[in-house]
Structure 1
Amino acid sequence: MTPRIVRLPWNGQFWHGRMEDGLPTFGFRDAPAGLVTRRQLRAAGLCPGGRGYVAQLKWRGGRRWAALYLLEAAVPSPGSTTPQLVALWKANRALRTCRDCGRVFDFRLPTSNGRRCWDCDQDPDEFPAPVSAGVSRMERVA
Structure 2
Amino acid sequence: MLRQLSESANPLLSTFPFRLAPDGLATRRQLRADGLRPGGQDIAAQVMWHSRRYGRRIRVAYLYRIERAVPVRPMTPAKWASLALANAARRVCPQCHKDAGYVIASSLGMCVTCAYPEEQRVA
Q: TM-score, normalised by structure 2?
A: 0.72
Residues 65 and 113 (structure 1), Cα distance of their counterparts in 2 relative to 1, 3 Å cut: closer
- Partner Cα distance (1:119, 1:58) in 2: 45
1:28 to 4, 14, 18: 18
Q: Which amino acid aligns with 1:33?
A: D
Q: CA–CA distance in 2 between the matches of 1:60 and 1:88?
A: 37
CA root-mean-square deviation? 2.8
The residue aligned with 1:72 is: 67
**After the TM superposition, which residues 13-52 of structure 1 pair with which residues of structure 2 at under 5 Å, given as runs?**
21-52=11-42
Q: Report the Cα offset of residue 28 of structure 1.
A: 0.7
Question: Structure 2: which 5+ runs fail to align?
Answer: 3-9, 52-56
Alignment match, 2:113: 118
Matches within 5 A, 1:92-103: 92-103=87-98
Q: Report if the CA contact (8 A) 2:27-2:62 is conserved.
A: yes
Note closer, same or farther for the CA distance 1:101–1:66 as it changes in structure 2 (3 Å cut): same
Q: Is the 8 A contact 1:96 1:106 kept in 2?
A: yes
- Number of residues of Structure 1 aligned to a counterpart in Structure 2: 109
Secondary structure at the counterpart of residue 63 of structure 1: strand
- The answer as to whether partners of 1:98 and 1:117 remain within 8 angstroms in 2 is no
Instruction: Indicate which of 62, 84, 87 corresponds to 2:79.
Output: 84
5+ residue gaps in structure 1?
3-19, 129-142
The corresponding residue for 1:109 is: 104
Give the TM-score, by structure 1 length.
Answer: 0.63
Deviant stretches of 4+, over 4 Å: none
AA aligned opposite 1:37: T
| 1:91 counterpart SS class | helix
Q: Is residue 59 of structure 1 aligned with residue 54 of structure 2?
A: no
Confirm or deny: 8 A CA contact 2:95 2:114 kept in the other structure: no
Change (3 A) 1:49 1:21: same
Question: Taking structure 1 as reference, are residues 97 and 56 closer, same or farther at Cα in structure 2, changes over 3 Å only?
Answer: same
How far did residue 24 of structure 1 move? 0.3
